[in-house]
Structure 1
Amino acid sequence: MMRNAVAAGVITEQERFGLHGLKHRGVTDSKGDKQEASGHKTRAMMEHYNHDLPRVEPADDN
């Protein structure tokens, strides 16, 4: 599928991705209950696919 997409000019060679990466992206981008949305039975497995970065406040300059 990736070879066909590159050959058709849909994506470039540098934009190739693994299809399993779609699972990671889907879990990460899900709103609400990510475990329910992904169908994983355990939180640990859901966290394996979730690549959200925590949002933190910047350090105070004082």
Structure 2
Amino acid sequence: MGGYAAFIWSSYGVVALVLAVMLVASITGMRARERELTALEERVGPRRQRRQQADLEDARHDA
């Protein structure tokens, strides 16, 4: 590697570490959003169910 092996391999190590940290941060963020969504759906109801109810109410108002 022409005398640059230490720089090259340490760069690979830093990139691998950054990617691992980003992966962990993404997964923990996703799990937090899923917990938040579950709590909202328990309080308000599932989104699909609310949408169907809104469509039914709109149909009643249009008739």
Which bin holds the TM-score, normalised by the shorter protein? under 0.3
TM-score by length of 2: 0.23
Max Rg structure? 2
Question: Which structure has the highest helix share of the two?
Answer: 2
TM-score by length of 1: 0.23
Instruction: Tell me: higher relative CO, structure 1 or 2? Use CA pairs within 8 A at least 6 residues apart.
Output: 1
